[in-house]
Structure 1
Amino acid sequence: MHRLRAMYREFYSLLQNTGFGWNAETNTVTANEEVWRNYLQ
């Protein structure tokens, strides 16, 4: 249960960043290449 909470917090934090969104059709996080590049740096 602790790991699930941690994963949810990480996921929620990701979606709070500007440029990230949620695609309800594919159930995936969406962002353009530049947003991902900046986030991963």
Structure 2
Amino acid sequence: MATSENKTSPALVFAAWFVVLIPAAWGIYFTLLNALKLLQ
């Protein structure tokens, strides 16, 4: 039985992580800014 593997393009993997990490980083950044306001 022959198996064919579908390789995912590294550029596609990078683009997918970029789409996930940018909003996550934005949310973490503003959460930390607001937390610092509360602690002052």
Say yes or no: TM over 0.5: no
Higher helix share: 2
Greater RCO, 1 or 2 (C-alpha within 8 Å, sep 6+): 1
Larger Rg computed on CA atoms:
2
Higher strand share: 1
TM-score (norm 2): 0.42
TM-score (norm 1): 0.41
